[in-house]
Structure 1
Amino acid sequence: MKQKKILMFGMAFTVTLMVISTLLILSMYQEASGKSEVMNQNPHETRLYSVSGKSLEMNITLGAIGDILIHDRVYMDAKKQKGYDFNPMFQHVHSILGQPDLLLANQETVLGGTQLGLSGYPMFNSPQQVGDALVHAGVDIVSTANNHSLDKGEKGLVTSLNYLDKIGLYHVGTFRNPKEQETLTVLHKNGFKVAYLSYTYGTNGIPVPKGKDYLVNLIDKKKMKKEIKRAKDEADVVVMSLHWGNEYQRFPTDEQKELGHFLINEGVDVLFGHHPHVLQPMEWVKADDGRTGFIVYSLGNFLSGQMWDYKDIGGMATIQIKKVVNETGSYIELLQPEFYPTFVSNVHQRKYQVLPLQDAEPYGLKNARTKYKEIMEHMTKEL
């Protein structure tokens, strides 16, 4: 069945950005050649410009999926005669994942590979081919700051980042040295500069090595405020990936809401939450300065070995962003948040597969369409 986009709110909010010079605006007009134009940079790159009167408009769709949590039973399913292949697990949602211009995933487990010894719960280390499957599925960047970042120590963290670099998958949240931590991760797409930030509440009690606080970003309002300011100075849009909240709790805590609103006030435009392993609702947040930000409190599990009690239901959230540039400056609008619920099945010969939720009844989910309606109502519930 063809997957349909689900409109969450028919609302648009204007966010004022810094004033840019007339010279820059004119150069952008010249680049657009005074008309709507689609220029194909490569198979994954489309730049859209639209000029009307004296305004230049650009558009982008940002998306995110939840936890990629590779239990041993998941990677054993992917085992082949030579190596591992996770691509079949994403085949039913490949077209959905290809819809955003930029897609983020929460890579919950270290990709240290077989050389460090594969392992599942509670100290995870996954085959590196997980990263290859994410790239193939359309993921552009992964958040790596989470409570399992140090499951294999500094060596596992570094080995994982080295492999992500090797396959060209951007990452944010863990770092190999202080310079990396101080360097903003900014992706360029469709005429936008999108800054990605990532923090976690902790590392499951595993101490960060002395003198190496740069290895993983831990939630610290003072540090976050400083980095958000830098990101706002360098980028059009600031996206925060945050590991927070209580596991298996379907609604955000008061602490989540307070921190989320704080971050929006400081300049974050879009916040994608992770860690509870179940879905938590989405929310528009009005900042003190008149801006409006968007929060998805938890995207749940996208691929994991967890089952039942909503732990096998996740999804992809997207939001459209429009940037308008004119003689006096520029502003962005956040438009049409959408949510695509998914289900993880393993009933067919214990083969793990991620499926559109409403299509999952033949794959072990009873009353899939009723569950789909329930989940959509849950994700749009007013907090």
Structure 2
Amino acid sequence: MPETVTFGFTGDVMLGRLVNQRQEHRPPHAVWGSMRETLSDLDGLFINLECCLSTRGRPWSVTHHPFHFRADPAWAVPALQDVDVTWATLANNHVLDFGEDALEETFSALESAEIPYAGAGRTEADAWRPSRVHVAGLDVALVAFTDNTPEFAADSDESGTAYVDIDPTDEACLDRVSETLERALEENPDLLVASIHWGPNMRENPPPPFQQFAHWMVQQGVDIVHGHSAHVFQGVEVYDGSLILYDTGDFVDDYVVDSVLRNDRSFLFEVDLTESGDIQRLRLLPTEIAESAVHEAFSGVAAWCREKMRERSSTFDTVFDVEAGALVVNLPQ
């Protein structure tokens, strides 16, 4: 086993709509653009899959849910395999865009490809069940849930997402989440990751209750909080030896770009760990979406990403260095 293990975390990987159309004429790996080699070199890659993998089903209510994302698994699954995606969270507001038939095909596609997932399931119990993966000698436990789209929530006999109304003052919320965290910790993993699709779109900073909730999760044993949903990256915090990535932004999509917030720009969030699972440092490699693919950002775009991340992390007193164009946070050992 190597002395240092490197895991990568991304925000939204949305492979539907225009991305799906363009991929009909490109090889599967094209969606990773100039980031392909970097992604492939990681020991583990953890993503938010912001679409269903299906050619089946009918769009969810257009009136209350105007955007619908699905990708053809014939190319999307090979694309995920091409960069060795280790695990995917399905706890988001698009995995049921084409109904339960498409969600079932998503489950089947990932299972056939041996890509573990969490955050959605065939029943409520399945949706809330923690995942376990073994990566480069490390035993990693993962849980996933969302506060988006309550109508997508799984119940005792219907598939859907692990939904909870996130409120750090609500005992029902804390009980629901602590139950799944306790299950994830039962076999004493080397690392516990909580992946959360939370909050509204296009927000540069997490609301104070989310910071309170993230701190509470760390106190329950979470080592890495992997946040996403806002479509723009938010600040990062080191809290009690754990990493809180409040929002990892967008990684691949075809979304309309806000000229100020620049939701087409984010980072690959790389975490270096020791062979026993202790977090050593966080490295943020600037990225940019272009032509429905993700690329490493250079020059002015990378500088913009670094500046905005410094601003958005200042509330948390996060100290960054710059190494080879990436922002680096070294954790105390």
Asked if these proteins are the same fold (TM beyond 0.5), I'd say yes
- Rounded to whole Å, the distance in 1 between the matches of 2:129 and 2:162 is 13
Give the counterpart of 1:149 among 95, 102, 110. 95
For structure 2, list consecutive stretches of 5 or more residues without a partner in the other structure.
Answer: 165-172, 317-333
Q: What does residue 298 of structure 2 align with?
A: 358
- Rounded to whole Å, the distance in 1 between the matches of 2:14 and 2:194 is 20
Q: 2:104 aligned with 1:162, yes or no?
A: no
- Rounded to whole Å, the distance in 2 between the matches of 1:280 and 1:355 is 20
Q: What does residue 299 of structure 1 align with?
A: 248
Q: What does residue 102 of structure 1 align with?
A: 44
Q: 2:176 aligned with 1:236, yes or no?
A: no
- Rounded to whole Å, the distance in 1 between the matches of 2:97 and 2:294 is 26
Residue 66 of structure 1 and its aligned partner are, at CA, apart by: 0.9
The amino acid of 2:263's aligned partner reads: K
Q: Are the equivalent residues in 2 in contact too, given 1:59–1:190 (CA < 8 A)? A: no
Give the counterpart of 1:377 among 289, 310, 315. 310
Q: What does residue 262 of structure 1 align with?
A: 216
TM-score (norm 1): 0.71
Residue 260 of structure 1 and its aligned partner are, at CA, apart by: 0.8
Q: 2:232 aligned with 1:278, yes or no?
A: yes
1:180-223 Cα distance to aligned partner (Å, 9 max, x none):
446531111232210011001032x5354653366321133212
Q: What does residue 336 of structure 1 align with?
A: 281
Q: What does residue 301 of structure 2 align with?
A: 368
Q: What does residue 76 of structure 1 align with?
A: 21
Alignment of 1:312-351 (within 5 A): 312-323=264-275, 333-346=278-291
- Rounded to whole Å, the distance in 1 between the matches of 2:40 and 2:248 is 18
- Rounded to whole Å, the distance in 2 between the matches of 1:108 and 1:303 is 9
1:17-51 Cα distance to aligned partner (Å, 9 max, x none):
xxxxxxxxxxxxxxxxxxxxxxxxxxxxxx23xxx
Give the counterpart of 1:133 among 61, 69, 79. 79
SS of residue matched to 1:343: strand
- Rounded to whole Å, the distance in 1 between the matches of 2:267 and 2:81 is 17
CA shift in 2, pair 1:66/1:188, >3 Å: same
SS of residue matched to 1:280: coil
The amino acid of 1:317's aligned partner reads: F
Q: What does residue 201 of structure 1 align with?
A: 147
- Rounded to whole Å, the distance in 1 between the matches of 2:88 and 2:155 is 26
Residue 123 of structure 1 and its aligned partner are, at CA, apart by: 2.4
Q: 2:136 aligned with 1:187, yes or no?
A: no
Residue 165 of structure 1 and its aligned partner are, at CA, apart by: 1.1
- Rounded to whole Å, the distance in 2 between the matches of 1:247 and 1:178 is 26
Residue 303 of structure 1 and its aligned partner are, at CA, apart by: 0.6
Residue 316 of structure 1 and its aligned partner are, at CA, apart by: 1.1
The amino acid of 2:151's aligned partner reads: I
Q: What does residue 122 of structure 1 align with?
A: 67
Residue 169 of structure 1 and its aligned partner are, at CA, apart by: 1.6
TM-score (norm 2): 0.81
The amino acid of 2:183's aligned partner reads: R
Residue 369 of structure 1 and its aligned partner are, at CA, apart by: 4.6
1:66-96 Cα distance to aligned partner (Å, 9 max, x none):
101235222222123xxx7442121310122
Percent of residue pairs bearing the same amino acid type: 21
- Rounded to whole Å, the distance in 2 between the matches of 1:149 and 1:72 is 14
- Rounded to whole Å, the distance in 2 between the matches of 1:208 and 1:334 is 33
CA shift in 2, pair 1:193/1:214, >3 Å: farther
SS of residue matched to 1:305: coil
For structure 1, list consecutive stretches of 5 or more residues without a partner in the other structure.
Answer: 1-46, 49-57, 287-291, 325-331, 347-351, 360-366
Residue 293 of structure 1 and its aligned partner are, at CA, apart by: 1.2
Larger RCO, structure (CA 8 Å, separation 6 or more): 1
- Rounded to whole Å, the distance in 2 between the matches of 1:167 and 1:190 is 19
CA shift in 2, pair 1:265/1:115, >3 Å: same
Residue 376 of structure 1 and its aligned partner are, at CA, apart by: 4.6
Q: What does residue 204 of structure 2 align with?
A: 250
SS of residue matched to 2:186: helix
Q: Are the equivalent residues in 1 in contact too, given 2:52–2:95 (CA < 8 A)? A: yes
